[in-house]
Amino acid sequence: MIHNGASTFFWYDNWIGGWAPKDISPDLFNICQTSWITIRQLYLNISNLESFFLEASPDDFISLIQSIPNCSSSEEDTNIWTLDRNHTFSVRSFYKFLVDGGLRTPLYPSFWKVECPSKVTLFCWLANDNKISTLSNLGKKGCNFQNATYTCVMCYKNSETVDHLLIHCDFASRIWAYYLNVLNSHSSPNSLDQVWLSWIPSLDASRRPLWDLLTRAILWNIRLERNRRVFNLTFLPISSVIFKISNMLIDWCSAARDSTQQISSDNLQSVKRSLDFMSVRSADLASSSIFPRLGVTLLTDLS
């Protein structure tokens, strides 16, 4: 905290909203006459600032200079530990900083505590951050040399982005619609980065634990089906994928230690009852009839 400004360097210390002026105005920093100058020195020479910025016009540095606080106090400057709410140093806060570099997200505390396979949670975490290898992301990195198109392999209608593949694609949207109907939910997520931040929290409290697990199962199985079509040239009808999602969800709930107590038994029973009516329907096969013409083999695995 700045009082007399005598021990705070104007350019190098983070005193403007947690930022150093050299990072806010790098062009001015590069042409300043002396970089190792304290805030108090500038404050005492505020009428002769041009001597510090010989190659700059007053308009260039006036906004930065206006941020200089009143340094008429005799009290010494003090350091504030910004990594803790109490602004005091603690080993705990410093250790967290070493682990995450200060880059934190509201999702972190609870996202990794859900009891499902860690590889599924990792995939959902990367998908939420748009870091999975969709065709559009590969294209941006220049890695999609053999495939000149970014068209989604699930619907052949739009570019394969994260949101399209996992939410808006015809294949994905039918899966979401199925479970929204089974669980009598009336809202659906619009984008993946809002699923855990706003969509699931907006649901009734009794539905949130189940939808958290179900969302992970949906995303994971869409990813598996997408890779099956890309690498194996085989595909499952949507009813088989739904069957796998439901069974995966039930297995996770059965194996979990604590989360099953939080999941409404009525909601879980709704999913279990839906399995009694699952079968490979002719409508699903008809809607997927494009794939045999493209040299893709149809599978009807319900295991």
pLDDT for 279: 52
Neighbouring-strand partners of residue 159:
151
**289 Cβ neighbours under 8 A, 6+ residues apart:** none
Phi, psi at 63, each rounded to 5°: -65, -35
Specify the pTM: 0.64
Q: Residue 234 is inside which H or E element, if any?
A: strand 234-235
| Three-class SS state of 1 | coil
**259 Cβ neighbours under 8 A, 6+ residues apart:** 114, 115, 209, 213, 253
pLDDT for 169: 95
Between CA 298 and CA 285 the distance in angstroms is 9
pLDDT for 137: 87
Q: Which residues of the chain have pLDDT under 50?
A: 260, 280-296, 303
